[in-house]
Structure 1
Amino acid sequence: MRSPATPLGDRSPVDGVRRSGDIWDVSRSSASSGSSAGGFSSSSSSRNPVRIAARAITSCFGSHDGGLPPSADDSEEFKPPSLTPSVSTQGSSHGSLQGSRPRGMGIYSNGNNPSRSEPGGIRLSIAEIMKATKNFSPSLKIGQGGSGTVYRARLDDGTVVAVKRAKKNTHNSHLNAEFQNEIQTLACIEHLNLVRLHGYLEHQDERIVIVEYVSNGTLREHLDCQRGQILDLATRLDIAIDVAHAITYLHVYSDNPIIHRDIKSSNILLTDNLRAKVADFGFARLFVMDSDVTHISTQVKGTAGYLDPEYLRTYQLTEKSDVYSFGVLLVELVSGRRPIEPRRELTERLTPKWAMKRFTEGNGIQTLDPNLKPSLATSFAVEKILELALLCLAPTKTSRPSMRRCAEILWMVRKDYREFLSSHPLSRHKN
């Protein structure tokens, strides 16, 4: 097992205890025709590799060979601590799942908190689930997706959980595979920024997953202004870092690398303290360690607008496919727009392509969410975030940074952004 990284920055870990409404939204597509990499232009020399990349922008988004900026502060780098031994735990009632979980301290685990049950440790009968959901009452329904329905439930001990009831379709092997895949993946991961498995149940034709209920809806709902207060840029940057930590854990610090395959804003849940948790592991793939294997050949699954174009073309899934989706997410955080905006004029329908073109032309600030006020500090942060998005959106996996590197860069952006606000108080605006 590999050691996790230590927490960075000064945010306090806060666990969510509720769940959002559309977490299980699975409106996925196996095809995407236009989301690929773009370019970047700045005041730097014309020999800047990222600027060279910008020149390659065409209707197909040209590739680039740009590198990443070096880390500027050792205190902001990841420094893995020691780990306590792994623990093997069996899944909940009527299941036969076993998984080994990393038990590191800090942001990558809950540590040794005796008040929390072991992940997957809640055992419930079908009668208890029916009672907790009031026979799957429509009044407790909080989400509907292609693979099932999610209900809010309160257990006898007062714990509030989300109960995902898979669709009853014995002829659909894909739905059953997603159910098995989700519980097997959730059972072997534990991280502050990943939803927590409480248990699961298979009873006759019922397939149920019980997970933590995250309180404050999805990131997409917040970007669509459906949750009241608008997320300011600093909070959006914090959310990007939380998500980067979660994916880094999946890729690097789980017992075997896990590729999520469906990183998107509607799968990012927010707690009351606006901490992000990545959810929905129905499409996740476990990457068994083998020095001779660098990819998984598999059927394309994901969501239109977030899909890695190289994965679409070759059917070869790698960790860099999640990096591409993360690049799309960064553009969403800056612009507030969805990856595909069919009602906009033709040149703006594919949000990543539109944003990268603006960035290439030196007008990155024009992509800023209209709900946010521009300022010197905002312009600085937007340029840095879009620069990273460009690298993540490279059309080939070899040109994209690792998720660990993305997290390091975002930490430095946040550090510099805070310092900029401190040294330029007039540039601060309340959004």
Structure 2
Amino acid sequence: MEFISYHPATGTEVTRLQALSANELEQRLQQNQQAAQTWRQSSTSDRSALLNRLASLLSANRERLALCITREMGKLLSEALAEVDRCALECNYFATHGPAMLPLARSMNTCEPMGSVLLLSSWRFPLWQVFRVLAPTLMAGNAVLLKLAENLPLCAREIETLLADAEAPKGLVFSLLISKPQVATLIADARVKALAFSGNRQDASQVAALAGQQLKPIILELDETELQIILDDADLDLAVAAALRSRFRNAGQLGHAARGFMVTPGIAEQFVARLSAQLAEWQPGDPSLYVSTLGPLATRLQRDDLQQQVQAALADGAQAVVGCQLPTGAGWYYPASLLDRVRPDMAVFRRQLSGPLACVLRAPNQDAILDMCQDLGPDGTVSIWTRDMTQGEQLARQLPFATCLVNREPCQGSGYQSRPGLMTDGHFSIRAFCHIKRLLVSA
């Protein structure tokens, strides 16, 4: 099997990398297990030193790393730079605060690292979805095996280079270019003690089933429903600005992006007009140029899937306000698009969107909003925009979602709520891959 890296802005092939053979994978597993046994005995000061070196290397190489993300995934350079900076901050955070989060070595209750952890990461944030888990997991004393999405072989190689340059112990972290059957074999291997997965629910159910057969701990970060409700008395400027950020960051390729915008009659026309005017100014361009406001999608398949959803919605009665047509020319670009008069039963609303498309659903009143949302929860987030805080709170209490926000963007929520303990103060829990060990000593 080969892993092919494409440049989404041109659609051209960049390079091909061979998948690991069975023997190569076995060698890495053995090295990773040996490194895990050694690393678990390391001091917290040694672990902090490694994370600090990683943070410095991320900062020193931010332009090169950001360009790698941009050229392999299509993310705007400004967004890719912000992603690299965020990874450096995360390493610094756990280097500084990590030791205090773990019980003292001579405590009667200690956190013992599990060993080798397999991290299966999605393609949306090539570095961030790795480092947000990698930093606390290493700080806790574990070793890590990384499996990035198949369209990111160069980013996977960059991560491995960073660890080597940071003088990480040999074998402590490996980026694995392996096939899906090899992933299944890896999950079943007794040397892999736990898993972390980020991505869609269909893939998550398969991974979780494999982990469950081995009774291995697994932490899931899943794509979730997010919705924004704009009531008649909403501050239109705030609502439109929030809509742009929640739906069009990262070219709309977000696992937690607003799926749709439910609007009531008194503000619907103004909201659609204001949002469409803003989107008309967004022009797809070379993501490596700072002047570009919208980059390409990560893969051709993703763009084709988005267009199929749009065409199905139009055939079923939705109205195209802006965009909604495949552009000509090279690359996997899709215009900033807006569909109006979408219905809750349409696939474009029911399925997770990955692309720069906003859907407006018109609700005649708040009772209709409750009916439209009834089967969307509870694993989701809704943001309600209104100047009447009492009205907003009452509506929020009746909605089925796990997280309800009033005049607050979903991305400003308090972290992922589906797994208590997964996030601590907005950070991945340092104890997620630790066993709690009790020591009882009698005279």
TM over 0.5, shorter chain: no
* Structure with more contact order per residue of length (Cα contacts < 8 Å, sep ≥ 6): 1
Q: What range describes the TM-score normalised by the shorter chain of this pair? A: under 0.3
TM-score norm. by structure 1 comes to 0.28
- TM value normalised by structure 2: 0.27
